[in-house]
Structure 1
Amino acid sequence: MSTVLETEEHTALRAAVAALGKRYGREYITALAREGEHPRELWAEAGRLGYLGVNLPQEYGGGGAGMAELSIVLEELGAAGSPLLMMVVSPAICGTVIARFGTEAQKRAWLPGLSDGTRTMSFGITEPDAGSNSHRITTTARRDAGGDWVLTGRKVFISGVDISDATLVVGRTEDARSGRLKPCLFVVPRDTPGFDRTPIDMELQSAEKQFELVLDDVRLPADALVGEEEDTGLLQLFAGLNPERIMTAAFGIGMGRYALGRAVEYARTRQVWKAPIGAHQAVAHPLAVAHIELELARLMMQKAAALYDSGDDTGAGEAANMAKYAAGEACVKAVDQAVHTLGGNGLTREYGLASLITASRVARIAPVSREMVLNYVSHQTLGLPKSY
């Protein structure tokens, strides 16, 4: 499903990734989720084919492309019923931050593995008492007498920590010049002493698990800080958050396309009276609306990716938030309408839609709620005053 905004290379990438996704499919993903396993085979093959690191620099094993290409990969895997949630985290957020701001040693250590899928990284920002307010992050890092970093704090709803080699943790350090706390990012290896994880019991059926993290005087070497100490700040943080929103949009669009495809197939063949149910406007029109809204969301996602890849971080921030909002809404509506189209069959395992009722809400509430997106647009775009 290409558009006039995409190149021949993009069209070919879509077709190749779609073929890969179909070889695995929805049954593969849901079976692993029920068994508490991870899609290791699909992840490994996507890495070998160069899809996981398509956005990362060529000199470190990546494809040298950008978020436009990476979002195509996730969207097409999702449309085939086999999305890889960790793509949002490992190559898009963590890979981007390290590629843009990491030291040369950090780039050599992490980017080749993130590119080919042999290494994975989680992203730890959300805290129990901070929610969407990154200014209230209480995870702090201080220097000890020997120059090491010591991290203390808590994180919640952190994806895939059990399968990641490390977590890119967002904390705060004291600025030597101003004395104020400023954002900073640290690479925390999975088995570091004092770095403990507890699974969160989720109703969501997903191969990727959610965790609460406790950092109890986690001691890290000086080079665990991403980039140079004097350069840390909001720019590094938002370098990862804009790709996160773009990729969440791709996740939602892919899921919505999968659900819509199942519903259209069913509506074409399900016959109760003289014609298939898809001939009735009460069935056909809501599916047409779902298709339109998914297409509109993709256009905004493509705009956000193009702005980001061109280096326009400010423009990308606005567009990425809008794309995430539009995709989340379109995904939920497409899934709901697909279930209604199938009736009772929409709630059976055979058709693979029931579990999407819960999963589709992820695109609406994470990584930032639709209400916070509306706050962003009303304040940053429309210039309206804040109520908080």
Structure 2
Amino acid sequence: MSFVETEAQHDLRAAVAKLGRRYTFTDYVLPKARAKEPLTELWQDAARHGYLGVNLPEEYGGGGAGIYELALVQEELAANGAGLLLVVVSPAICGTIIARYGTSQQQQRWLPGLAAGTTIMAFAITEPDAGSNAHRITTTARRVDGAWVLHGSKVFISGVDQADAVLVVARIETEGKLRPALFVVPTDAPHFVAQPMDMDLVQPDRQFTLHLDGVRLGDEHLVGEADAALLQLFAGLNPERILGAALAVGTGRYALDQAVSYAKSRQVWRQPIGTHQGLAHPLAQRRIELDLAALKTRQAASLYDEGWEDAAAEAANMAKYAAAEASIGCLDQAIQTLGGSGLAAEHGLAAMLGMARIARVAPVSREMVLNFVAEHSLGLPKSY
């Protein structure tokens, strides 16, 4: 594992950063977020450049690279204030699972569109009464007259209004036990209802509650083997954590850049305020924390791409935790550096608070990460 990026990775990072600078946070992202409109133009532009499918197989139109490269794309967009939440979901979770475990028919049906960015697939695991406990999922799929019939509800599902389908985690009965299973559910399927949730967040992507009240699906909608779905699920959740960490790292970079720029230009007593250690030292500390989080994120992506599943799971959880803490820390310090201007609408930093704060809660809460590290890294007894 090298800590020096290849020339191709370096070039990709530079190209994505150039694209991101055309979609600035204050001029493009924030107006869209205030209007609750998705970043459609940015998504389509990134798709045209092939950035959204860099991790998917070349035979289906992808870049043939890995999660490292997709995380790189996410980080550079977010570093310009233009991170794409659905990159975490559509190519990272859903694309990875279908590429690794889908049937040939499913791969041919979904991967070209996911790679091209012309198809978007949401992901639905969270339920009102299950929270982070995948073992308490109550959405079920039962065989009725040769079809799968799904019943259940999901909550906090991102971007359903933009999606063509949703990869739904349900449970089916095998050998007398209810086991997880993954189904691709088209958003126009009968008895599939998506209701937008009211959120006190300024962000472009909306959250939805889903109701599946007798959704009938053929066998072609069941992804992979029913009794191996837990393994398949975590094949997508590790990339989810890595991409979430990359989004947080990029957001932290954006906030820190705003703070440093202001500290250089804002003058008091004929000196830039950045000359004062009371401001310089906290910014330097945030930079250190952010760089450490970025390194952990890249390590997690490298381990995942090289097939070290257990090590990647540990690193992905740690990266997500570190990046979330560093990101919100950078944003808080940026607002503090700008003082009252940090709360002014023209800078948009206060509006980012909700988006940055999400990283501590989703895709997995920091408490659940600590549970994972305590059990798997430290060998302590399981606490739940």
Does structure 1 conserve the Cα–Cα contact (< 8 Å) formed by 2:328 and 2:356? yes
Q: In structure 2, what is the equivalent of residue 139 of structure 1?
A: 139
TM-score by length of 2: 0.98
Q: Does 1:110 align with 2:107?
A: no
Residue pairs, 1:333-344, within 5 angstroms: 333-344=329-340
Deviation at 1:25, TM superposition (A): 1.1
* Aligned equivalents of 1:321, 1:17: Cα separation in 2: 26
Q: In structure 1, what is the equivalent of residue 306 of structure 2?
A: 310
* Aligned equivalents of 2:110, 2:315: Cα separation in 1: 29
Q: Does 1:320 align with 2:319?
A: no
Post-superposition Cα deviations, 1:263-311, rounded to whole Å, max 9, x if no partner, equal 0000001011131100000000111111111100011111110111011
Does structure 2 conserve the Cα–Cα contact (< 8 Å) formed by 1:103 and 1:228? no
Q: In structure 1, what is the equivalent of residue 63 of structure 2?
A: 63
Does structure 2 conserve the Cα–Cα contact (< 8 Å) formed by 1:71 and 1:246? yes
Q: Does 1:238 align with 2:223?
A: no
* Aligned equivalents of 1:228, 1:377: Cα separation in 2: 29
TM-score by length of 1: 0.97
* Aligned equivalents of 1:274, 1:34: Cα separation in 2: 37
* Aligned equivalents of 1:169, 1:209: Cα separation in 2: 18
The AA in structure 1 aligned to 2:219 is A
Post-superposition Cα deviations, 1:57-93, rounded to whole Å, max 9, x if no partner, equal 0001100000100000000000011111100000000
Q: In structure 2, what is the equivalent of residue 150 of structure 1?
A: 149
Q: In structure 2, what is the equivalent of residue 192 of structure 1?
A: 189
Deviation at 1:155, TM superposition (A): 0.4
Q: In structure 2, what is the equivalent of residue 225 of structure 1?
A: 222
The AA in structure 2 aligned to 1:93 is I
> For 2:21, what is the secondary structure of its paired residue?
helix
> For 2:223, what is the secondary structure of its paired residue?
coil
Does structure 2 conserve the Cα–Cα contact (< 8 Å) formed by 1:149 and 1:219? yes
Deviation at 1:39, TM superposition (A): 1.2
Q: Does 1:377 align with 2:376?
A: no
The AA in structure 2 aligned to 1:272 is V
Q: In structure 2, what is the equivalent of residue 366 of structure 1?
A: 362
Post-superposition Cα deviations, 1:149-196, rounded to whole Å, max 9, x if no partner, equal 000001000000011000000001111xx3111111000001111110
* Aligned equivalents of 1:280, 1:233: Cα separation in 2: 55
> For 1:328, what is the secondary structure of its paired residue?
helix
The AA in structure 1 aligned to 2:63 is G
Q: Does 1:25 align with 2:21?
A: no
Q: Does 1:179 align with 2:179?
A: no
Gaps of 5+ in 1: none
* Aligned equivalents of 1:294, 1:364: Cα separation in 2: 15
The list of structure 1 runs, each at least 4 consecutive aligned residues, that deviate by more than 4 angstroms after superposition, is none
Q: Number of paired residues?
A: 382
* Aligned equivalents of 2:336, 2:62: Cα separation in 1: 42
Deviation at 1:36, TM superposition (A): 2.4
Q: In structure 1, what is the equivalent of residue 254 of structure 2?
A: 258
* Aligned equivalents of 1:112, 1:348: Cα separation in 2: 43
Does structure 1 conserve the Cα–Cα contact (< 8 Å) formed by 2:371 and 2:383? no
Deviation at 1:4, TM superposition (A): 4.4
> For 1:119, what is the secondary structure of its paired residue?
coil
Does structure 2 conserve the Cα–Cα contact (< 8 Å) formed by 1:94 and 1:121? yes
* Aligned equivalents of 2:100, 2:23: Cα separation in 1: 33
The AA in structure 1 aligned to 2:359 is A
What's the C-alpha RMSD, in Å, of the aligned pairs?
1.0
* Aligned equivalents of 2:193, 2:178: Cα separation in 1: 24
* Aligned equivalents of 1:173, 1:73: Cα separation in 2: 36
Q: % of aligned pairs identical?
A: 62
Deviation at 1:387, TM superposition (A): 2.7
* Aligned equivalents of 2:270, 2:20: Cα separation in 1: 36
The AA in structure 2 aligned to 1:158 is I
* Aligned equivalents of 2:251, 2:336: Cα separation in 1: 16
Deviation at 1:5, TM superposition (A): 2.6
Deviation at 1:385, TM superposition (A): 0.8
Deviation at 1:330, TM superposition (A): 0.2
* Aligned equivalents of 1:313, 1:196: Cα separation in 2: 35
Q: In structure 2, what is the equivalent of residue 281 of structure 1?
A: 277
